[in-house]
């Protein structure tokens, strides 16, 4: 392999998540936002929010440190507050340093797509990347239609998603699917994989099965045997897929132990204008708010957060020799599960969820076995 | 040496999401190279045995 074959510049972007609303038109069985009274970003604060984003973009420290800004829309279902999404997109779409990303269930895509299309055609400094990326939540069936339930009982969520990705594909907008894999549904994993394979055949390269297990309420011990059998089943499917496509369909056997950008090059603004390190902070039992859009010196606090996390970011020795390949590490969850004393030790305590580590290790070993089989075939 | 291999593999893996946006094929090459480094990390015999058992089990159903 020649690593010099191609090289391209990776632009350094700051990610700013905006929680447009906590409301959602779905009632997913595993949602951890259940039971809370949803708040919406107050429209009387729209102007202030936009002013603060301009200030960030024009700030000397920001410009020295970052080349652009990725504005991320978070919810609830962020498009339930379409007016704020639209206002922000229209305000910043002509700034070539700004790109957009949205998490969505796809239910409003018929109305949202025109806004996305206009923004997507605008210039972006990284000409080889998309100005607008849409991530649609889809778990694959049978999990999806059993767990992701629209409040409008006449709708089926997989149909909603299919319509959304057809619109996105027709409009040439970059999109991805993101799945939740509940512990008590692991027996359906092989069927889910088949569903994604059908979508792959229909929609092409943009389809991949990118699954996240519930890392808040870990149920690996309870379902260990089913989990193991399902992962082994998937391994066989992936081998057959790899023989044809020279890649895996799912991220399950991928090597991704990236350190999260939370707090360092990322911040989240909640519906009340409070700023914390990432959207994970919104669901913690701890308070991670460190400033707000109402404070004129909010950029100083963002800079302090950036410097703090750069100073203390560490990779524990235990992770360096770990057999896992994929390991999605949520620092907020690690912090909350940690028994250490200091904030920074808790935040980077990647081994504080041992049951989750056991799951990722199991998958890593099966992934290594899978790659051994493929290597022997070469 | 394990740590150097690990850090190199991790650096390549961290670059993959950025590269994949504009050059998916090259991203796959980076992942392969990353895997090569990971494979050089010496694993303990117990782990090797477990992986081998899984390999046999997968092959049975293929």
The 10 Å Cβ neighbour count of residue A46 is 15
Checking DSSP bridges between strand A266-269 and strand A274-276, what pairing results, if any?
Answer: antiparallel
> In sequence order, which residues have a C-beta less than 8 Å from that of residue A219 and are 6 or more positions away?
A183, A184
Arithmetic mean of pLDDT over chain A: 93
Q: First-to-last CA distance in chain B?
A: 36
Query: How many whole angstroms separate alpha carbon A218 and alpha carbon A299?
Result: 36
Q: Taking CB atoms and an 8 Å cutoff, what residues of chain A touch B13?
A: 255-258
Does A6 sit within 8 Å of B23, measured CB to CB? yes
Q: Tokens at residue A292, please? A: 């707000």
For residue A115, the number of C-alpha atoms closer than 13 Å in the C-beta half-sphere is 21
Q: Is B4 at the interface with chain A, CB within 8 A?
A: no
Q: In this prediction, what percent of chain A has a pLDDT beyond 70?
A: 97
Among A321, A361, A377, most B C-beta atoms within 10 A, so best to mutate, is: A321
Average confidence (pLDDT) over A196-216:
94
Q: Write out pLDDT tens, residues A123-178.
A: 999 998 999 999 999 999 999 999 999 998 888 999 999 999 999 999 999 999 99
At residue A33, does pLDDT exceed 80? no
C-alpha distances in Å from residue A280, one per residue of A206, A245, A330: 26, 35, 8
Checking DSSP bridges between strand A266-269 and strand A13-19, what pairing results, if any?
Answer: parallel
Whole-structure pTM value: 0.88
- ipTM of predicted complex: 0.84
Q: Write out pLDDT tens, residues A247-291.
A: 999 999 887 777 788 889 999 999 999 999 999 999 999 999 999
Residues 254-273 of A with CB under 8 A from B: 254-259
For residue A42, the number of C-alpha atoms closer than 13 Å in the C-beta half-sphere is 8
Q: Write out pLDDT tens, residues B6-59.
A: 778 878 888 888 888 888 889 989 988 988 888 777 666 677 889 999 999 999
Q: Is A12 at the interface with chain B, CB within 8 A?
A: no
* Minimal Cβ distance to B3: which of A128, A320, A371: A320
Query: How many whole angstroms separate alpha carbon A304 and alpha carbon A160?
Result: 42
**pLDDT on residue A5:** 47
Query: How many whole angstroms separate alpha carbon A216 and alpha carbon A296?
Result: 35
């Amino acid at each position: 392999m020649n690593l010099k074959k191609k090289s391209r510049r990776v632009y350094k972007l700051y990610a700013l998540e905006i929680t447009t609303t906590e409301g959602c038109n779905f009632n997913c069985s595993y949602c951890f936002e259940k039971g809370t009274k949803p708040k919406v970003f107050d429209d009387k604060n729209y102007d202030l929010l936009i002013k603060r984003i301009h200030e960030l973009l024009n700030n000397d420290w920001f410009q020295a440190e970052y080349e652009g800004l990725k504005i991320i829309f978070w919810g609830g279902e962020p498009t339930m507050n379409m007016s704020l999404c639209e206002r922000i997109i229209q305000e910043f779409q002509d700034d070539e340093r700004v790109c957009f990303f949205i998490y969505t269930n796809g239910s409003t895509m018929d109305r949202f797509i025109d806004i996305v299309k206009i923004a997507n055609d605008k210039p972006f400094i990284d000409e080889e990347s998309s100005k607008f990326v849409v991530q649609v939540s889809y778990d694959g069936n049978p999990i999806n239609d059993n767990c992701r339930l629209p409040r409008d009982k006449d709708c089926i969520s997989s149909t909603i998603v299919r319509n959304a990705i057809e619109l996105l594909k027709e409009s040439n907008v970059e999109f991805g699917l993101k799945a939740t894999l509940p512990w008590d549904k692991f027996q359906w994993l092989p069927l889910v994989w088949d569903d994604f394979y059908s979508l792959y055949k229909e929609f092409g390269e943009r389809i991949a099965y990118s699954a996240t297990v519930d890392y808040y309420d870990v149920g690996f011990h309870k379902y260990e045997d089913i989990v193991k059998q399902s992962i082994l089943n998937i391994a066989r499917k992936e081998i057959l897929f790899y023989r044809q496509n020279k890649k895996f369909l799912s991220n399950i056997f991928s090597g991704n132990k990236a350190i999260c950008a939370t707090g360092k090059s990322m911040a989240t603004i909640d519906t009340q204008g409070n700023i914390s390190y990432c959207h994970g902070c919104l669901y913690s039992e701890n308070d991670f708010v460190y400033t707000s859009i109402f404070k004129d010196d909010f950029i100083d606090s963002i800079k302090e957060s950036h410097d703090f996390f750069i100073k203390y970011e560490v990779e524990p020795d235990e992770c360096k020799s770990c057999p896992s390949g994929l390991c999605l590490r949520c620092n907020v969850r690690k912090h909350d599960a940690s028994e250490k004393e200091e904030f920074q030790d808790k935040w980077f305590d990647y081994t504080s969820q041992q049951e989750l580590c056991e799951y990722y290790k199991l998958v890593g070993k099966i992934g290594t076995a899978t790659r051994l089989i493929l290597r022997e075939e070469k | 040496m394990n740590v150097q291999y690990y850090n190199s593999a991790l650096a390549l893996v961290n670059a993959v999401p950025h590269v994949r946006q504009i050059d998916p094929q090259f991203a796959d090459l980076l992942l392969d190279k990353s895997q090569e480094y990971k494979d050089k990390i010496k694993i303990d015999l117990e782990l090797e045995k477990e992986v081998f058992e899984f390999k046999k089990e997968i092959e049975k159903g293929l």
